[in-house]
Structure 1
């Protein structure tokens, strides 16, 4: 059975639409239908319930998904491993949560890719849960996260710390900023705990968001206050579009790299880890720099 048949099955299962699956795979819709029919004949089972503008997996189809993912992913790992053995370029896939990209990865990813010959990179934004699942399912090589993952199959290493500072569109007391048009940015569970301790008794925020970019845009256009990475807001502090409200409002977050312990691309992943640990955006710092500061 050609692995393309299983790739097509997984794409239809994801899109719930033959036409969209065909576009994603760059093949005709007739080819998609033929491959699904071939798979159903092979297993002598119906894999999809076909209704007008509504395609869904049967119970048999749902059970086949995990086997199809294993076959497709195993083949891709074998291809990557053989490419490395032949000295060819192998692909490393990584993903981070949206705020990781805004605050950290957009700065250091280019430096990493430029310095690592022999590897191509594929990058995406996913939720913490999606990253964890993709790592376990082998559809992702590396996850960059604010919260450490817990699994015997995964390695999770802290690679940097990020400085989050309370900024406002107005020069005012921190207490006033949190009682007005305050935007609570979701920087993870540990941030929420530190925030509650630092600002006990504050009124509920006017808005919540998981995107630092959204919060920054609102602050610049409509005004308000929020905790944002120093690396992101420094230009706006310099020209006084924003104001840092209190030196004591600093909250630090560790950034973690997670990956499978048995990954066939472990050498490349460890090289990325070393570069992440040595690369930090302005307003953040590496764990190596932190260790040096403690020793000095």
Structure 2
């Protein structure tokens, strides 16, 4: 079967629209329709029902979905393995959420170098939706993301339930004014919980889309903000940062996502390393009261 037909099928499933699939694939809607007709003729079944809401899978389409996913994944794995560098047995591709890579990805790379030196490693940083797409298609072997959506053909493993805590550079820790607050975008769930706890801080003077950027700004310019406990732990121990008393903590879990049919010789060492570097450490004493939220 032509891989382009399977890719087109999966893009329609993902976007639920022939038109949006055409835009993503950079072809005309007519080309997408022609590919679907060809695929349906090869299989002898109708795969989609088109209506005003978009495109929905028929029962035959539902049955074909895991096979199309496996076909693309096998191809991508084969393409990567052909390009194995000299002295390595295989290539492992891992993507990490932009809000989670520091310092997790570096710690994992160092662990892999000593424990799985036979593997060549390719890493990238991106947004969760793109990383999950690449994992589903086989471009990535593992994605490390926050609060991933469940997708067919993918397994999800909890690595660590990280905490977001309010810290400050002030010697007199207290709830800040918006002018002294650094708001970091930790995702939609955090935004909702944060607004419920601190509606008055919604207009912070500084807003950062990346945790490392917000943290470095805070350390240089001073102020208060929410950051991952494991990342600011050293600064808390040295006294450069302080916990703000009587403030809620928010859970920020990290997950490893990989294909159901992933090669165990690749993913097992990688998962072992991720479990090792995310093992919780004993936190310092904290005056904070805890407010946690469950993952939907």
Return the TM-score normalized by structure 1.
0.63
1:204 aligns with 203
2:136 aligns with 136
Matched, 1:116 2:116: yes
Instruction: Return the offset for 1:89.
Output: 1.0
Distance 2:142 2:282 in 1: 21
1:1-296 superposed matches below 5 A: 59=28, 74-78=74-78, 89-175=89-175, 177-246=176-245, 248-263=247-262, 265-280=263-278
Name the Cα RMSD after superposition: 3.8
Check conservation: 2:76, 2:137, Cα contact below 8 A: no
Check conservation: 2:73, 2:136, Cα contact below 8 A: no
Distance 1:194 1:112 in 2: 36
Distance 2:245 2:212 in 1: 22
Distance 1:281 1:223 in 2: 30
Instruction: Return the offset for 1:88.
Output: 5.8
Q: How many residues align?
A: 227
Instruction: Return the offset for 1:154.
Output: 0.9
For structure 2, the residue ranges without an aligned partner over 5 or more in a row are 5-25, 35-69, 284-296
Q: Per the alignment, do residues 278 and 73 of structure 1 end up closer, same or farther by CA in structure 2, a change over 3 Å counting?
A: closer
Check conservation: 2:76, 2:139, Cα contact below 8 A: no
Instruction: Return the offset for 1:197.
Output: 3.8
Check conservation: 1:146, 1:187, Cα contact below 8 A: no
Distance 2:197 2:109 in 1: 32
Instruction: Return the offset for 1:185.
Output: 1.2
2:12 aligns with none
Q: Per the alignment, do residues 215 and 81 of structure 1 end up closer, same or farther by CA in structure 2, a change over 3 Å counting?
A: closer
> Can you list the C-alpha shifts for 1:17-61, whole angstroms capped at 9, x where unaligned?
xxxxxxxxxxxxxxxxxxxxxxxxxxxxxxxxxxxxxxxx6639x
For structure 1, the residue ranges without an aligned partner over 5 or more in a row are 1-5, 7-56, 65-69, 286-296
Check conservation: 1:171, 1:245, Cα contact below 8 A: no
Give SS of 2:273's match: helix
Distance 1:190 1:284 in 2: 26
Instruction: Return the offset for 1:222.
Output: 1.7
Check conservation: 1:168, 1:245, Cα contact below 8 A: yes
> Can you list the C-alpha shifts for 1:184-243, whole angstroms capped at 9, x where unaligned?
212223333332343355442222222112112211222221111233223333443322
Check conservation: 1:108, 1:281, Cα contact below 8 A: no
Q: Per the alignment, do residues 82 and 240 of structure 1 end up closer, same or farther by CA in structure 2, a change over 3 Å counting?
A: closer
Instruction: Return the offset for 1:248.
Output: 4.2
Q: Per the alignment, do residues 127 and 98 of structure 1 end up closer, same or farther by CA in structure 2, a change over 3 Å counting?
A: same
Give SS of 1:249's match: coil
